[in-house]
Structure 1
Amino acid sequence: MLPDRSRGELRMKLSTRILLVIAICLLPTIILQLGFSWSQWSQRKTQLDTIAVRQAELLSGTVMSIAEGARILLGAAAQYHQVRTLGADCSARLSALREYAPGYAFIALLDDQGQVRCASDPGLAQPQGWIEQARAAQHFTAGRFSRLPDRAGAVLPFFLPLRTGSAAGADGGTLVAALDLDWLARTLAGLKREGSALMATGVLTVADAGGVILARDVRHEEFLGASFPPAAMPLVQATQPGTLRIRSIDGTDRLVGYTPPTAASHNLAAVVGFSEPELMGDLEQGLLQGVLLLAGVSLAVFFFTRQVALRFIERPTRILLAVARRWGQGDLAARAPAGDHRSEFGQIGAAWNTMADQLQRREEELRDYADVLEARVAERTRELVRTNNRLTTEIEERRQAEAALLQAQKVQAVGQLAGGIAHDFNNVLQAVLGGTSLIRRRAGDTAAIRRLTDMVEEAARRGESITRRLLAFSRREELRATTLDIEQLLGGLRDVLAATLGGRIRVVAEVTPGLPPVLADRSQFETVLLNLATNARDAMPEGGTLTLCAEASRIGPDSTVAGLAPGDYVHLVVADTGEGMDAATLAQATEPFFTTKPLGQGTGLGLAMASSFAQGSGGALALDSEPGRGTRVSLWLPATRLEGEAVTETPLGSQSAASTAAPGRRPRVLLVDDEPLVRTVLAGELIDAGYEVVEAEDGGAALALLQKGEAIQLLVTDLAMPGLDGVGLIREAQHRLPGLPAIIVTGYAGDAANLAIGAVVGGPFALMRKPILGARLLDQIAALLSPARQPAKVD
């Protein structure tokens, strides 16, 4: 098989490649033709700009001639004595003069105050639009577009001030000749007669200095008095003739040539607009014909080249490819047809046939070799199967042996643990049973009963302490984290250890000042330090020094301390000068139940509990020891900047049911527990405190009471019960009684308790651990039923 790239190259036929080569050869000619066409097009554009400016200048010359005619006309009027002296026939003289200037609407004389003193038209109304223009004129000039109030049409006034010093007559006035703009439009239309220098395709426009159209040879009446569009206003501010390509006022895109309104042109602009596509039409047609001719020639070349390539190149190539495909399919007997050996394709065919003969011989040799190799592989496979069967048998035997050894270790560990726990719990039970027996015999002695109950309670607390240590070891008791001041804690602990460990042990505390607090369970932290101190004491039978060190530590990403995330920590070290441990002992030191102490003197849980505590607090524990050089226990705990305790418990108080219930009504508590003894004891505590108690043996019975409409103000339930557990019961109860306060009392710890805390929502909630004192339960109930929390109402 050919590679993907090779197959892609073969898909482009040789004839196509030849056409591509021809196209590349024609490309310079095409580029030259396009460049020549572009050059012609650009030159025509430049020529059109020049023509447009020349046309505008020709129109400007005509406009200047009209303005000079107005100057001559007004100059002739100024020569009349009757006009200068305001004689009786002043108006007649002006009227006669106007007969020789048919393009003017009237000729008039204004005094310095802008009043008409005489006019060619006796009925001429007092002008309004160009009085100020006439008074401001200092020499002959054209005014602005104006309309006459008493007649149709519009005019362009020309002003000639009279400059004599006489105070009488018209001296100091202004002669005005009003050019009829309709006459001017007709004049512009006549300029494009046959043989004129002005092109017939142009649109001629005359405007004043403000861009107001005075006359057009096309659609004059429609645009008379209109202002140029904004795109054309630059020609009004220009100082030299030029061109613009804009959309004209009639909505047509035009090439506009112009002469700007300047003092030399009497403030009149001459504009000639052309439709550029019309002027470019002949050139564009010629360019199009050239492009079509070039395209035709190129297509003809391509066609003839394609036929030649098909006959002399593509057909022989197709035959060779067909033979190659048959080889690819395994038919090595295929051969290329014999051709003219003088041609390249004939030589290629002969070379391919020779290669096919060689490949066929190699294939036969490889087939024979493959048969031999296959037989060898089959034999080796059978040997590997036999070996694998033996290994599988041995692995299974080893797995069973390891399982038996693990079971034996578990039995040994359980035996060690059971022995220690049995011893401690037998002491507790002895105190409890003995105390209850004495209470029964001394029922009448109140003082003795109080002492005995205190003793029984202390024994129960010992049992609780044993349970908590086991749970801490197994990591099933949640850590009640608080912020701890390490400097203060180690300072107090040093005095306790100095008095406890004996006079032969010297206790030293080295704490870096200003340490940040840590977030950890205080009781378990103290227990861990006491266990480490006890181990250090046992390792120094002849006495020695126990050192407690604490310092701030910054752990980076490249830290070698296993299990520590980057961050700020407080590094505590408990070091002794005792016997130390060898490498084998050090490797097993933190394993549960591993101990080097004699039987009955250690359970092997101290270091395991310390490691569990460190990991549960977000830190880590590490050991470093050598025989004869003592042991160094390093403990890292996360530093925190929090002030006060991170986890707060409900404050204990002495509130009673009377302070939380409505006047005249005792609060009703629904108590649910599947243990009758626990339920009886808790119910007695609540009844003695003044609460009404409704008991239920499980969640289903409690739910049935709620469905009957039992009115309650608080729910106390066990967590683990047959059927509906405490979490589900609280959900259902708070669904029926929104905002109902609830307390879960459980002997479990860890995941189940955390599930209860995260799952129960909708009302005040508390979680309490067994065993609990009645006073603590009453305080918790009083806190939940405080006036700030309104009890739920029955729907």
Structure 2
Amino acid sequence: MRVSTRLLLIIAACLVPTLVLQVAVSWSQWAERKAQLDDLAVHQAELLAGTVDNIANSARILLGAAAELNPGPLPAEGCGRRLASLREHAAGFAFIALTSPDGVTCASDPALEWQRDGEWVRSAQRALSFTAGHFTRPEGYPGGVLPFYMRLADQPGQEGRVLVAALDLDWLEWQLRHLKRAGSPFMAGGVLTVSDDRGVILGRDVRHAEFVGKSFPPAAMEAMRATQPGTLRLRSIDGARRLVGYTPPTPANIHLSTMVGFDEAELMGDIERALLRGVLLLTGVTVIVFALTLLAARRFITRPTNALLAVARRWRSGDLSARAPGWDRRSEFGQLAAAWNAMACVLRQREEELRGYTDALEVRVAARTAELVHSNSRLQAEIAERQNTEAALLQAQKVQAVGQLAGGIAHDFNNVLQAVLGGVSLIRRRSGDPEAIGRLTGMVEDAARRGESVTRRLLAFSRREELRAGVLEIAVLLEGLQEVLSATLGSRIRVRVESAPGLPPVLVDRGQLETVLVNLATNARDAMPAGGALTLLADAQKVEGACEVKGLAPGHYVRITVMDTGEGMDAATLARAAEPFFTTKPLGQGTGLGLAMARSFAQGSGGALAIASAPGEGTRVSLWLPVTGGEAEADGAAPVHQGPALWDGSGPRHRVMLVDDDPIVRDVLVTQLADAGFAVEEFPDGEAALGRLGEAGRVDILVTDLAMPGMDGVALIREAQKARPGLPAILVTGYAGDAAALAVGAAVSGPFALMRKPVTGTQLADQVEALLGAAPGRAERMP
């Protein structure tokens, strides 16, 4: 904020009390004038009420004089003359009449005699003492009258007599106008009004003929309900806004009300003009003070400040030779200028010193830069050499891992091939011995199952095989494994199983879990060459929030712990224990896939794997599996499906188109399907199959391999179903994961199934029958 602005704010703060005081005084004067006007309006209304009271007393005297005449016993003509004579001496009264229950007995105006109708006649009988009636217009009196009533004492034969003196309202108007003559206490600007207790106007000094007999507006009726004189601010019956002082209708003033209205704006005009003049004068003085202050600030504050700022800007641009003007040293600006000039001298001196330091520093920086460039060149060479070394080491590790994997897999598959080839050779030699052939066939099938297990372990490790999950009771599984492990691990290893009661079921692949547990048990056995104890524990765990096991989400789990009393692992070995192909066993005795497969299985099942070990303290491997929310029976051994019976030569046969590029696999599948009762037509590739499909021959279902030269199985199914919409198809493959996703995502339009090799003849026949049953309208039978 600028100094001149601050000065103006100080002046404004000093003027604020004066302005507030002036406003308070003006408001007090204005409010006092308002109160004076209220008092004036009430006083004027009370003066008018006194005049009306005098008129009422005149009516009382007139009716008293009429009562002294005792007009009752006279004939009507004589009574009327007396009343007429009396009325001539009562200015302002239209007529005098004597009424009885039968109507008007006599009157000063003969036209009124024996009248029975009229509000004033009926109201006369209700009067019990001297009082005023209400506005009425008898015939012959268009200006209207106000009747005053006085009841006479009842005499024999003269009951219910009431004297009536009717005030001429035109005379009342004249009287009201006369009240505002020069020298009168009534203000010339006031509007005088008299009304009865129902708010009907009896007389006005302004526009009397226009409003006489009309009722007050609703805003003015508040005065009719009041008990004390007061004021109202309202819009009058003539449309003008006025301050109205009033006296309410009470028995004391014989139920008549008086009002005096003033134009408040006119009465307040002088004080409002005086207040306006005061405000304008104060505003002018304030503006002059601010203007003089602003001029003084510009002359004595802004000009020196701008000079100092100009010098500062020159310093900022590097011109330290600039100096501030020399003012009087006794003023603040003079002292500031002297201080700035002294500071400029010091800064210039230090700038020269810094320039010398800078030159020296540049020389040192140049030397240091040359050293850094040389060091950086050496570092880049070392980095390149290290990268080459790391690449060679990584390649060596890959070769070692592949060699370890190949050695382990070759060992397992050599055993399988040994059993298969030996069994086949024995079957060929003993072709005439059915019993031996059956036993040898079972041996070959067991060996093939072992090969399938090795393949499944590899696929599970690579996480490319889909888990065949089912509801499984862990306690039942561990009890079954105890006997198997006890016989497998040898007598030196004691196997113990502990399961917490009431364990919930889990949803996992039973075969994969058994494989994992067997592998963990085998690792534990190898870690206890001198024997020891192997313990399998199962308990329920609930994970809330963060968990010490990496990658484990909150939820309910069953934890399976495999503990041994073996040698244990150091920190370096433990850090790499679950890495693929890592093993501490001698070459050819392990592939390093056991723990890696276990971790892959746990993560694929929605859980996690944790390992804890220390040298000499054994190893604890914990497998966390999520609890299933569904209800199902515990997964036991899979039931043996007998499959369809071999075809006995009777009934229709389904025609199967089989496509596979491997002749051995094709021959086996053809033989298996033929034994199951199907008519099979085989093809080595997709092009030949499509050519046959376009001919007139009929085909019920297509069975094809996935990976084939030229057209693969997915493309063949797609093209075949274009030619034969709705044709059932089965895709048989030895691949998993990506191939399955590719097949499911293909645009197949008919019944479809995916089967993974190795496939038995029973499984393939069951799947063919299932698809043909799902498309009953598509099956074409042939003899």
Check whether TM > 0.5.
yes
What is the rounded CA distance, in whole Å, between the counterparts of 2:701 and 2:192 in structure 1?
A: 102
Following superposition, the deviation at residue 738 of structure 1 comes to: 13
- Does the residue aligned with 1:386 lie in a helix, a strand or coil? helix
Equivalent residue in structure 2 for 1:774, among 751, 756, 764: 764
| Of 462, 465, 482, the match for 1:474 | 462
- Residue 577 of structure 1 aligns with an amino acid whose one-letter code is T
- In the alignment, residue 275 of structure 2 is paired with which amino acid? L
Q: Which amino acid aligns with 1:38?
A: W
Following the alignment from structure 1 to structure 2, what is the Cα–Cα distance between the partners of residues 737 and 185? 118
Q: Is contact 2:655-2:678 (8 Å) kept?
A: no
Q: Rate the CA distance shift 1:145–1:471 in 2: closer, same or farther, 3 A.
A: farther
- In 2, Cα distance between equivalents of 1:190 and 1:479: 120
Kept after mapping to 2: 8 A contact 1:109/1:176: yes
Q: What aligned pairs does 1:690-729 form with structure 2 within 5 A after superposition?
A: none
| Counterpart in the other structure of 2:31 | 42
**Paired residue for 1:280?**
268
1:627 match: secondary structure: coil
Matches within 5 A, 1:201-220: none
CA distance in 2, matches of 1:59, 1:565: 98
Find the structure with the greater CA-based Rg.
Answer: 2
> What's the offset of the Cα at 1:358?
2.3
Residues matched between the structures, number: 751
Pairing partner for 1:537 from 525, 529, 541? 525
Asked if 2 retains the 8 angstrom alpha-carbon contact of 1:82 and 1:89, the reply is: no
Find the partner of 1:327 among 312, 315, 330: 315
Contact 1:82 1:93 in 2 (8 A): no
Is residue 310 of structure 1 aligned with residue 298 of structure 2?
A: yes
| Distance in 1, Cα, partners of 2:704 & 2:69 | 130
Once residues 62 and 740 of structure 1 are traced to their aligned partners in structure 2, the CA distance between those partners, rounded to angstroms, is: 122
What pairs up with 1:15-54 in 2 under 5 angstroms? Answer: 15-54=4-43
Shift in Å, 1:330? 0.8
SS at match of 1:579: coil
What is the match of residue 368 of structure 2?
A: 380
**Partner-residue secondary structure (3-state), 2:321:** coil
Distance 2:58 2:597 in 1: 122
TM-score, scaled to structure 1: 0.71
Q: C-alpha distance in 1, partners of 2:178/2:321?
A: 95
User: Structure 1 vs Structure 2: percent identity of aligned residues?
Assistant: 60
Q: Residues 211, 681 of structure 1: CA spacing in aligned structure 2 closer, same or farther, 3 A cutoff?
A: farther
| Residues 460 and 241 (structure 1), Cα distance of their counterparts in 2 relative to 1, 3 Å cut | farther
> Contact 1:481–1:645 at 8 Å: present in 2 too?
no
Query: Distance in 2 between the 1:734 and 1:101 partners?
Result: 128
Summarize the Cα distance change of 1:75–1:350 in structure 2 as closer, same or farther, 3 Å threshold.
Answer: same
Following the alignment from structure 1 to structure 2, what is the Cα–Cα distance between the partners of residues 160 and 674? 141
Once the two structures are superposed, what CA deviation does each residue of 1:436-460 show, in whole Å capped at 9, x if it has no partner?
Answer: 9999999999999999998888776
1:525 equivalenced with 2:509 (yes/no): no
Which position in structure 2 is the counterpart of 1:614? 602
Name the structure 1 match of 2:565.
Answer: 577
CA distance in 2, matches of 1:723, 1:106: 139
Distance in structure 2 (CA, Å) of the matches to 1:334 and 1:86: 129
Contact 2:567/2:617 (8 A) holds in 1: yes
Secondary structure of the structure 1 residue equivalent to 2:591? coil
Q: Identify the residue that residue 593 of structure 1 maps to in structure 2.
A: 581
Of the structure 1 ranges 545-554 and 397-406, higher mean CA displacement relative to structure 2 is found in 545-554
The one-letter code sitting in structure 2 at the alignment partner of 1:628 is: G
Kindly provide the amino acid, as one letter, of the partner of residue 318 in structure 2: G
Q: In 1, are the aligned partners of 2:725 and 2:750 still within 8 Å (CA)?
A: no
User: Does the C-alpha gap of structure 1 residues 202 and 590 become closer, same or farther in structure 2, counting only changes over 3 Å?
Assistant: farther
- Corresponding position of 1:398: 386
Larger deviation, residues 399-408 vs 580-589: 580-589
Q: State the alpha-carbon separation in 2 of the partners of residues 613 and 678 from structure 1.
A: 30
- Provide Cα deviations, 1:257-277, integer angstroms capped at 9, x if missing partner: 555566666666666665544
| Secondary structure in structure 1 of the residue aligned to 2:551 | coil
CA shift, 1:292, in A, is 1.4
- Conserved? CA contact 1:147–1:155, under 8 Å: yes
Mean Cα deviation higher: 571-580 or 463-472: 463-472
* Deviation larger for 448-457 or 743-752: 448-457
Structure 2 gap ranges (5+)? 645-652
Asked if 1:409 is matched to 2:405, the reply is no
What's the Cα RMSD here? Answer: 6.4
Measured in 1, the distance between the counterparts of 2:487 and 2:281 equals 117
Cα deviation digits, residues 84-121 of structure 1 (max 9, x gap): x999679969996999696789979685xxx9677984
Separation (CA, whole Å) in 1 of partners of 2:237 and 2:706: 91
Matched residue SS, 2:324: coil
Q: Structure 1 counterpart of 2:278, which letter?
A: G
Amino acid at match of 1:571: R
Distance 1:194 1:359, change over 3 A: same
Compared CA separation, residues 261 and 574, structure 1 to 2 (3 A): farther
SS at the partner of 2:386?
A: helix
CA spacing shift, 1:421–1:292, aligned 2, 3 Å? same
Matched AA of 1:302: F
Give the deviation of 1:367 after TM superposition: 0.7
Does 1:295 pair with 2:283? yes
Q: 1:563 deviation in Å? A: 2.7
Distance 1:437 1:330, change over 3 A: same
Q: Quick check: 1:204–1:273 contact (8 Å CA) kept in 2?
A: yes
| Separation of aligned partners in 2, 1:669 and 1:251 | 110
Q: Give me the TM-score of the superposition, normalised by structure 2.
A: 0.72
Contact 1:19/1:305 (CA < 8 Å) preserved in 2? yes
How much does 1:371 deviate? Answer: 0.8
Aligned partner letter, 2:8: L
State the alpha-carbon separation in 2 of the partners of residues 218 and 741 from structure 1: 111
Residue deviations 1:419-445, cap 9 Å, x none?
A: 333444566677788999999999999
Q: Say whether the 8 Å CA contact 1:742–1:763 is kept in structure 2.
A: no
Give SS of 2:567's match. coil
SS in 1 for 2:581: coil
Q: Extract unaligned runs of 5+ from structure 1.
A: 1-8, 657-665
Quick one: distance in 1 between partners of 2:749 and 2:175?
Answer: 100
Q: CA deviation at 1:331?
A: 0.9
Q: Which amino acid aligns with 1:539?
A: A
1:384–1:595 Cα change, 3 Å: same
8 Å Cα contact 2:571/2:614 also seen in 1? yes
Go from structure 1 to structure 2 and tell me whether the alpha carbon gap of 1:319 and 1:69 turns closer, same or farther (over 3 Å shift).
same
Give the whole-Å Cα distance in 1 for the aligned partners of 2:17 and 2:345: 48
